[in-house]
Structures are given as C-alpha cells and as structure tokens.
Amino acid sequence: VSRHPLRVGLVGVGLMGGDHAERLAQRTAGVTLVAVADPDVGRATALADRLDAVVHDDPLSLIASPDVDAVVIASPGFVHEEQVAACLQHRKPTLCEKPLTMDDDSSLRLVEAEARLGRRLVTVGFMRRFDPEYVAVKEALVSGVYGRLLLLHHVHRNRAVPNAEFHSEMIVRDSLVHEVDASRFLFGQEVVEVTVLAPAPTSHAGPGVLDPQVAILRMAGGGLVTTEVFVNSRVGYEVRFEAVAECGSLTAGLASSGVLATRATPEGGVWGGLVPEDYRSRFARAYDLEVQAWADAARAGHAVGPSAWDGYAATAVSTAGMESLRSGGNAVAVTLPERPRLYPEDH
C-alpha cells in the first residue's frame, strides 16, 4: 500500500457527487479530495473552496491531471463512457456511479477497453453490495445452510421523482438496475430474460409515466426474481427484499432506519420506524464502506467490488427491460458475449 494518501478527483457535484465529496473529504481514510469538476462552476467552486480542492472546467482535464491519482465519477450517465474511457487511457482507478453507461454497446466498449489493458481499474457504484444486510444475506446463502436460492422478491420505492422530465424508461435504467445487480450478486448468475409490466399508474405519476412497474427476471440457473419499482410512493425511500431458498428465507431492509418511534395522532397512538428520505441516508453506511474499500484497493494497486463487466451485464438487462416495457410486457431474452478472463465468475 502506498504511504501517500490517494489524491482523488471528483467529477460531478450534484446530489450524489455532493454526498461523495463530504465522504471523500471527511470520512475516508488515506484519501485527499484534490479536485472537482462540474458544468455548474459556481457550485463546484463553492464546494472546492470549502473542502480545499481545485476546480477544473473540463472533466477530461481533471482526469488527465498529474495531481489526480484516482477518480470518482458522479456525473450523469450519458457522459460516463467518455469519462471512464479517459480514466482507462490514463490508467487511473475509477469509481463510476451507476449506470455504467446508458446502453449495452457503450458499456461493452468499456469492458473491452479494460480487458485490453489486462488490469481492472473500474468499480461500478452498485453500493448495495457493500450494505451490511445484503452482505449478510449473501454470506448466509453461500454458507449452504439455507439450501439453493429459488426466488427473490424486491421492493424499491422512492418518495417522488426528481424533475418533470422524468419518463417511464428511467425507472428501468436508473432504478431497477440496482435490483438487476443485486440479483446477479445474490444468485451469482447472469440474467437470461427480463419482462417489465406496468399496472394502471398511480395518479401521482406525471402524464404518461408508467409508475409503478413490476419486473420479472429469469436467472441462468432457472431462479426467478420479482421486483416492484414505485418512484412516486409519497412515503420515502423503501428498499427491501426477501430471498426464498430451499430451507428457509432471509429478509433484508425492514425498518432500516433502526428507529422505533411512537407518535400521538387524532386517531390514536401510532408506532413504527422512520422511513429514510432517500438513498443517501438509507445507504450511507454502504457508500462509506464502498468508497473506503475502493480507495484502499486503489492505493494497493488493485480493484474491488462490482466490475465493468457487472456494469455491462446490468446495462444489458436494463436495455432489454426497456424494450420489454415498450412492447407492453413481452419477455425479452438477454444474451451476453463471452466473459473476458479479466472478470472471474465470482460475483
């Protein structure tokens, strides 16, 4: 491990990038946040001044800078391909927020570029793989005590959507993609078929937006996954799942705030936990563990966590899922090319 702190540059200082900035500057050991870049230069400058970093107008100049050892990418998905490709070109370890890119062709180009280098540099920010409950379920399944995994049932709810431009396919590409990755992780298998169904939408969805949606994934070993994604639930951030195996089931994500509150209402006393506002609080610990593990690995010269292949496989399933949604609910097969040797089958 290098004796020097890892000098990290951050691309994108929106909601997620702003959260990562605090994490990198204050809660990650062995790291110095040295540079930020964002099209909103005012926002980037305010953050950089406060955290003692420099601002780059151009994300590619941040990535190329000799003062930056490693890069966190929290920009919108449509610029990821160019930015991750630049990180590969400059041989810089990268933690790229999900989705890896917007479609499977561009994700596969990144896989091929990294495979050509023969060295893993990219980690995709599927933070649930670092969430202690997801990890505990994975370990329990691997232990064999529960027998073979048969089914997963996921629930994924957001209180409301971020803006008026929100459209139905974003539910598949930006939200369901987490369950795609979590299912690949928990089963240790690829997804071979996806179906996305839309019931009559909630009146809280925008005009024409199909919300909620129900996705069915068929896994390579024959297992099935159901997922409800509902992004205008009006309640808060609810992410939970039940894994059903041959000799028992495991449930994660119940009352994840851990706080049990009682409250007086005109109808009488109510009790229960508090629902987290969004992913930043619900998965704060997972993000901390993810960024720390990524930084430790980068300093030691290797890579951990979801790989470019995992990012590609998830994007391929999302692309097929969007096709299924457009078709009105046809099952769409997912066929992946041969997995390069750089990515062993141990996810």
| Residues binding ligand ISE (CB under 6 A) | 158, 174-175, 178, 231, 279
Phi, psi at 9, each rounded to 5°:
-105, 140
CB of 73 or CB of 231, closer to ligand ISE: 231
Please, what is the minimum distance in Å from the beta carbon of residue 128 to ligand ISE?
A: 9
Please, what is the minimum distance in Å from the beta carbon of residue 239 to ligand ISE?
A: 7
29 burial class (0-12, 13-18, 19+ CB within 10 angstroms)? exposed
Q: How far, in Å, CA of 31 to CA of 216, rounded?
A: 40
Please, what is the minimum distance in Å from the beta carbon of residue 74 to ligand ISE?
A: 11
Report residue 87 as tokens: 């990180």
Amino acid identity, position 199: P
Q: How far is CA 254 from the centre of its chain?
A: 20
Please, what is the minimum distance in Å from the beta carbon of residue 167 to ligand ISE?
A: 12
Q: Which residue is nearest to ligand ISE (CB)?
A: 175
Continuous segment of H or E residues that includes residue 323: helix 308-326
Q: How far, in Å, CA of 8 to CA of 70, rounded?
A: 5
Neighbours of 328 (CB within 10 A): 9
Please, what is the minimum distance in Å from the beta carbon of residue 57 to ligand ISE?
A: 26
In sequence order, which ranges of 97-246 are alpha helices (DSSP H)?
Answer: 104-117, 132-143, 168-170, 177-187
CB of 231 or CB of 295, closer to ligand ISE: 231
CB of 143 or CB of 163, closer to ligand ISE: 163
CB of 175 or CB of 183, closer to ligand ISE: 175
Residue carrying the six token digits 């020097």: 4
Please, what is the minimum distance in Å from the beta carbon of residue 168 to ligand ISE?
A: 13
CB of 240 or CB of 339, closer to ligand ISE: 240
CB of 282 or CB of 299, closer to ligand ISE: 282
Q: How far, in Å, CA of 217 to CA of 324, rounded?
A: 11
